[in-house]
Amino acid sequence: MKKTSNKIVLVGTGAVGMSFIYSAVNQGIAEEYVLIDVNTKAAEGNAIDIQDAIPMLNQTSKIKAGEYSDCQDADLVVITAGRPQRPGETRLELIADNARIMKGIAQAIKGSGFTGVTLIASNPCDVLTSVYQEVTGFDKHKVLGSGTNLDSARLKRLIASKLGLAPASVNAFIMGEHGDSSLAAYSASNVMGKSISQIKGENKISEKELEDAWYQAAHMAYEIIERKGATFYGIGVSLTQLSSAILRDEKTTYMISAKLEGEYGQSGFYTGVPAVLSSNGWERIIEWKLEESEIAKFNESCNKLQEVYIIAKEAIK
């Protein structure tokens, strides 16, 4: 394991970004944090607020508000900036505004001389990760999106609750778009080593309950946004988990947004797939043998993302 003595730069100090920083500082995943935001006073205020918490955490982490030049020697840049999703709005409807915002961020980061790994959570995550990688020209392996890591955690929780188990007993995965067109890869999932088909055969869960669990997991954000205006704690912890895997060179597999180049029969864009994370970003995509129905759903999701990616590219011309 790599010693944790790293620098993280966060771009976007809204609720998502600061939930990530709060979680990361609590878990001690890095020694230095820099906050960048178009609202410099907000970045400064957030930095001071976290500085006040550090002495009570028995840590020596440093945090400050900064500029894009601070990216030059960073190990990891995490991007959460963008217009927030409105109640009833899909992630893909955000695309024109946030593609233009992402282009500006990408150009500024590239101009800093940054050579580390970039992790993107701005929505629509998959498409904006594609935009960022195209604008910067960075190695695809050093650019990733938060993908369906949070969606998969939601699915684990829902299935575990149905079975009366702790979420850690369930391995369940959502693939494709971080959004409405995703799919549950139940053929690759298991409960304490038992396949989902075996669990169904034992009448512990039905096909309808599995479909409902996917639907709830994939649409959970809408439910949260309607109730409180935004989602941020879950994605904040998800970003901490992924960042830790990168900074600590874990070589652990997570459901992230990675660029396909022939895997699963698709190429040229980012979407949620299982991939191995290390200090170099994502090393490789794991290809599961999916059922035909799952492959069809994955292809539909990919087609939708490709269509929206075309819209994004038009918006940033």
- Runs of H (alpha helix) within 137-291: 149-163, 196-201, 207-228, 233-247
Ligand-binding annotation for 167, yes or no, is: no
Q: What is the pLDDT of residue 4?
A: 44
Ligand-binding annotation for 104, yes or no, is: no
Ligand-binding annotation for 12, yes or no, is: yes
Please give the DSSP secondary-structure letter assigned to residue 176: B
High-pLDDT (> 90) share of the chain, %:
91
Residue 1, pLDDT > 50, answer no
Ligand-binding annotation for 124, yes or no, is: yes
Confidence of residue 42 (pLDDT cuts 50, 70, 90): very high
Amino acid (one-letter) located at 117: V
Q: What is the pLDDT of residue 91?
A: 66
Give me the mean pLDDT over the 159-176 stretch.
Answer: 98
Catalytic residues: 178
Ligand-binding annotation for 108, yes or no, is: no
Q: What is the pLDDT of residue 3?
A: 42
Q: What is the pLDDT of residue 195?
A: 96
Helices (H) and strands (E) in the chain, counts: 9, 14
Q: What is the pLDDT of residues 267-316, one digit of tens each?
A: 999 999 999 999 999 999 999 999 999 999 999 999 999 999 999 999 99
Residue 2, pLDDT > 70, answer no
- pTM value > 0.85: yes
Q: Which domains does the chain have, with CATH numbers?
A: 7-145 (3.40.50.720), 149-315 (3.90.110.10)
- Strand 170-171 and strand 190-191: the pairing is antiparallel
Q: What is the pLDDT of residues 210-266, one digit of tens each?
A: 999 999 999 999 999 999 999 999 999 999 999 999 999 999 999 999 999 999 999
Q: What is the pLDDT of residues 84-131, one digit of tens each?
A: 777 777 767 789 889 999 999 999 999 999 999 999 999 999 999 999
Yes or no: say if 126 and 144 are a contact pair by the CB < 8 Å rule: no
Give me the mean pLDDT over the 191-205 stretch.
Answer: 95
Q: What is the pLDDT of residue 84?
A: 76
> Residue 47, SS3?
helix
